[in-house]
Amino acid sequence: MAEPSAPRGLDGVVAAQTRLSHVDGQAGVLIIGGYELAEIAGHVTFEDAAHLLWMGALPSRAEHDALHAEMAGLRAVPETTLAVIRAAAGAPPIDALRMACATSSLDLEESSDLSLEADLARAKVLTARFPTIVAAHTRIAAGKEPIAPRPDLGHAANFLYMVHGSEPDPRAARALDTYWVTVIDHGMNASTFAARVIASTRSDMVSAVTGAIGALKGPLHGGAPGPVLDMLVVIGSAGNAEAWIKKELAAGRRLMGFGHRVYKVRDPRAEVLSRVAEEMSNAVLHDRKLFDLARTVEQTALRMLEEHKPGRNLKTNVEFYTALVLQSLGLQPRTFVSMFACGRVAGWCAHVIEQHGADHLIRPQSEYVGPRGLRVRT
């Protein structure tokens, strides 16, 4: 087959201008709304980071208080949504989230209203509801009843309360909050692109976010941290790392948590999350075993990937330490990609708002490589 005339997978193609975030893959820098990631992760709340994306600036004290109170009041999900979550009890959590997200169309404002005000209102509702959906599904899948959200708790603390049934250690809530800020937005990644394509047809935010969940789910995008944890469990101890990795690479399989389309150096989000994972291991779990194993597996994998694909610069990505952070919060690997969605939903909504503002259809072309001139009639 002839060489394609456009880069494979749109690699390097600029699909939109954005003020939301920028990924510098050579320098290993992620800018969110003007701030480098390390400047905001662990220093502003998830709601404040959402405000930064939605409104273009971090909130004032009064705006911070108003936004936290407003979003806390939007956490409960309607009965119809709960009924879908119950019906999806046996489904993977990310599929349940996608189905439950779609039910938001039933009670949100008129979907043809694409004004900034209507989009902002929807962004707050969707972002506030996502953790409630994931927590409810986690409990229902385990044969337990869902726990109603508590408006007096922060966004992350309330999620852990709804999953575990008790108020979390504040350090655990802070770890989750930092995780959600870390993954809130990331340039023109596949799920964000999917959301923008849908929004560009003047379709509504619920449709765009529902489509984005579908794009996030795959292991080449957001579905990797579950398999990362599986890998660490299978490897079991530092002494097994090299042999296991060698076998995987020889079989042509990819190591989850390594490699990135844009980053050619260590993903800055891995930097933030490895610190969070280490803090959780030391201060909350009082058990460094898994963290120390992960460090060894990371070093071994980096060395072996360099030998396997010299010059490809396959480095640690966000998903590697995500697995450890989420595991330290007592969450099951099958929920990990939904946890990612709970953070990224704020970014998707911001991109939908931006795309509706640009009001320009995204419609690339394909290169036809099939036959021509076939005939039905002889």
Q: Which of residues 301-320 bind ligand ACO (CB under 6 A)?
A: 309, 312, 314, 317-319
Whole-angstrom Cα distance, residue 92 to residue 97?
9
| 260 part of the active site | yes
**Which CB, 59 or 187, lies closer to ligand ACO?**
187
Interface with ligand ACO, residue 87, by CB under 6 A: no
- Asked whether position 270 contacts ligand ACO by CB under 6 A, the answer is no
Out of 179, 193, 258, 348, the residue judged to bind ligand ACO by CB under 6 A: 258
Spot the catalytic one: 68, 260, 351, 356. 260
Best CA proximity match to 223, nearest among 105, 118, 89, 318:
318
Using CA atoms, how far apart are residues 335 and 300, in angstroms rounded to an integer? 27
Judged by CB under 6 A, the chain residues 211 through 240 that form the site for ligand ACO are 219-222, 224
- The yes or no reply on residue 256 touching ligand ACO (CB under 6 A) is yes
In contact, 51 and 58? CB cutoff 8 Å: yes
Residues 303 and 224: their CA atoms lie apart, in Å, by: 20
Looking at the Cβ atoms of 120 and 262, the one nearer to ligand ACO is: 262
Q: How many residues bind ligand ACO (CB under 6 A)?
A: 20
Question: Based on CB atoms, which residue is closest to ligand ACO, 64 or 254?
Answer: 254
Q: Least Å distance between CB 44 and ligand ACO?
A: 21
- Using rule CB under 6 A, residue 197 touches ligand ACO: no
Give the residue, chosen from 217, 260, 266, 315, that forms a contact with ligand ACO under the rule CB under 6 A. Answer: 260
Residues contacting 114, CB < 8 A, separation 6+: 202, 204, 356
Q: Is 211 left (phi over 0), alpha (psi -120 to 50) or beta?
A: alpha
- Report d(CA 81, CA 303) in Å as an integer: 47
Catalytic annotation present for 51:
no
CA-closest candidate to residue 369, choices 33, 3, 52: 3
| 321 neighbors 270 (Cβ within 8 angstroms) | yes
Of all residues in the shown chain, the one whose CB is closest to ligand ACO is 259
Encoded tokens for 217: 């789910």
- Residues annotated catalytic, as ranges: 260, 319
What residues make contact with ligand ACO under the rule CB under 6 A?
9, 219-222, 224, 254-261, 309, 312, 314, 317-319
